[in-house]
Structure formats: C-alpha cells, structure tokens
Amino acid sequence: MPLVTSTEMFKKAYEGGYAIGAFNVNNMEIIQGITEAAMEENAPLILQVSSGARNYAKHVYLMKLIEAAIEDTGLPICVHLDHGDTFELCKSCIDGGFTSVMIDGSHHSFEDNIALTKQVVDYAHAKGVVVEGELGRLAGIEDAVNVSAADASYTDPAQVEEFVTRTGVDSLAIAIGTSHGAYKFKPGQKPQLRFDILEEVSKRLPGFPIVLHGASSVIPEYVKIINENGGKMPDAIGIPEDMLRKAASMAVCKINIDSDLRLAMTASIRQYFNEHPDHFDPRQYLKPARANIKSLVKHKIVDVLGCNGKA
Ligand code: G3H
Ligand code: 13P
Ligand code: ZN
C-alpha cells in the first residue's frame, strides 16, 4: 500500500457522515502509537507534519518513519503538511513526497490568500498532490504564530465559493470557534461552536470537504495526571467530544488533533517518573507513553470520528 492522497478518504467520509483523524507527528513513538491504533481499528489515516516538526525531526526521518509505518500496518496513509505558510515550504514538502499540503494564507488579506493558495494548488496538482486552504482565523498558539482571541475571526460564508473556485483547493479549513493549543476557552467559559456557519458553508459548497483545526478535547484526565505528578497546568478547556461528533456528521471530513497527543504523552511520562524516580532508560518511559497515544487514538477513531472499519 503506497502513500495516498485524501481525495477518496474525504469522498467516503462525506457520504458516510464520519471524519478522518489528522494527527500531528514528531517522532517514532508518536507515529507508532497512532498507526498501531489505526491498524487495529482498520481506520484511514492522515499523519500531519508541521514546519516545527520538520525542523525538530528533519523531513527525511519523518518520511522514512511513515514509510515504515505503511509497510508495517498495510494502511492507506496520507502524509500532509500542516500549516504551510509559504510557497517554498509547500514546494519542498511536495518535492519530498508528501501527498497533501496545507497552505495557510489566513493571516493575509482575502486577495493575497487567494493568490498564494492558487500558486500552491497549481504546483501541487501538477504533481498529483492535494491542497487544503484556510479562510477565517483561529485563535491560539502554533509554532510560529500566536493569534490572540481578539485577532481571531470566524469564516465568512459569503467568501467560500469565490475562494474555492478561484484557488482550486481540494478542502477548506474554516474557523467556527475552535482554537489551537490547550487553552481554548477562558476558565468558566462554556465551549461553543458556530454550527450555523458550518451549515451555511456546506450549503454554499455542497459535497465539499471541510476541515476543523484546533479540535483537541484537552482530555481532563490527562491534565489531572500531569498536575498530580508535579505539573502545573492551569485549568484547560477543550472542544467537547459531542461537538466533534456533530461536526463529523456534517461536512467536516478532517479533524486535526495534536494537543491531546502531547497531553497523553506528557501525562504518561510524568506519572512514570513519579513512580520510578530512579529509572533512566528512555525505553522504559517511552513505552507507556506510546501505549497511551495508542489508546487515545483508538478512542478518537471509534468514539469521536467514527472512521473505524473504513480503511
Ligand atoms: O496547529 C498546530 C499544531 O499543533 C502543530 O504545532 O507548530 O508546535 O508543531 P507545532
Ligand atoms: P489542537 O491544538 O487542538 O490539537 O489542534 C491541532 C491542529 O489544529 C493542528 O493543525
Ligand atoms: Zn491547525
């Protein structure tokens, strides 16, 4: 089974009322935990690499690890650039074997976003690679950008047809109230998503796959374990899982998850060291961390995304 694009995955997900998980990867244990979970649940999979991940692990290492995961699991896997911010970065990932890239022009004006996105689409499509664009601006922290809540803005449904037609993108990330990182809502604030915007976007783009970024639930159990084992995380509120299930049943075909993976790994490692303060072999603490990632991803696939059995 070679690397695949997300085209078939999204078509089936749209028709079936479920979503594909797009999980961020940074090292071998994360890739193994995710892919073993997907294999056991027979789920299609998107592994996504941010520019921070690429700087951390190097493109070639991540690519070879993903190729190894494909050989090991036999799964259809799409490898995707998360939040590409320049044409050059997208080009480098396309030339380096990625099957999907995101060009995130959401920080630019509408016209500049269209011009940049179209430039990437033209290059990508000529090489059989698919492209995700973004309209609207999510709050929160990514590696290179920190968007304050005041600078975040919901997607304007009136712009989506023009954006998709003029750029030729294959999927569209929209802003409906999710945000990046562990602190998505203020303490005491009730999580809310603008499903009316999602509904309006999908009416204007029938059958077109929509992407939800910033979709970690910030699972409270992990935050609790972190804080019980020497951590000092303030109250963190994520996206409730019933909202993600609802989005998956609508036009959302790709749901991005990174923070929950980080929390699962950190909770496990903190707990391990608290219980075994004299241990120092990385395999000892990375083994339960990898297992925790695996059980988290199984939970997401089966209980949230609904893509089990769809590979
Ligand atoms: O949306 C951002 C992802 O969580 C990737 O985060 O840029 O720190 O690797 P990163
Ligand atoms: P979270 O921070 O909610 O996991 O979002 C990840 C993401 O959107 C990656 O692009
Ligand atoms: Zn994102």
pLDDT of residue 142: 58
Region of residue 181 (phi > 0: left; psi between -120 and 50: alpha; otherwise: beta): left
pLDDT of residue 144: 53
- Per-residue confidence at 83, pLDDT binned at 50, 70, 90? very high
Q: Has residue 270 got a pLDDT over 80?
A: yes
Q: What is the mean pLDDT of residues 201-224?
A: 98
**In this predicted model, what pLDDT tens digit does every residue of 46-57 receive, in sequence order?**
999 999 999 999
The set of protein residues with a Cβ atom below 6 angstroms from ligand 1 is 24, 50, 52-53, 82-83, 142-143, 180, 258
pLDDT of residue 2: 78
pLDDT of residue 188: 86
Q: Has residue 128 got a pLDDT over 80?
A: yes
- Residue 28: count of CB within 10 angstroms of its CB: 17
Active site residues: 82
Q: State which amino acid sits at residue 125.
A: H
Closest atom of ligand 1 to CA, residue 143: 7
Question: 150 or 57: whose pLDDT is higher?
Answer: 57
For the chain, the distance separating the N- and C-terminal CA atoms, rounded to the nearest angstrom, is 11
Instruction: Please choose from 50, 107, 212 the residue to mutate so as to test ligand 1's pocket, defined by most ligand atoms within 8 A of CB.
Output: 50
Integer Cα distance of 255 and 257 in angstroms? 7
pLDDT of residue 152: 72
Q: Has residue 225 got a pLDDT over 90?
A: yes
Q: Has residue 173 got a pLDDT over 90?
A: yes
Q: What is the mean pLDDT of residues 189-199?
A: 95
CA 195 to chain CA mean position, Å: 19
Closest atom of ligand 1 to CA, residue 26: 9
Instruction: Please choose from 62, 134, 141, 180 the residue to mutate so as to test ligand 1's pocket, defined by most ligand atoms within 8 A of CB.
Output: 180
* Residue (of 215, 29, 22, 214) closest to 130 by Cα position: 22
Contacts of 282 (CB under 8 A, 6+ apart): none
The set of protein residues with a Cβ atom below 6 angstroms from ligand 2 is 24, 82-83, 180-181, 213-216, 256-260
Instruction: Give percent of the chain with pLDDT exceeding 90.
Output: 92
Distance 206 CA to ligand 1 centre (A): 30
pLDDT of residue 146: 59
Q: What is the mean pLDDT of residues 216-226?
A: 98
pTM above 0.85, yes or no: yes
202 touches 208 (CB < 8 A):
yes
Residue 99: both structure tokens together = 């099957």
pLDDT of residue 21: 98
- Supply the DSSP string of 111-169, one letter for each residue: HHHHHHHHHHHHHHHHTT-EEEEEESB-EEE-SS-EE-GGG-B---GGGHHHHHHHH--
Q: What is the mean pLDDT of residues 13-41?
A: 98
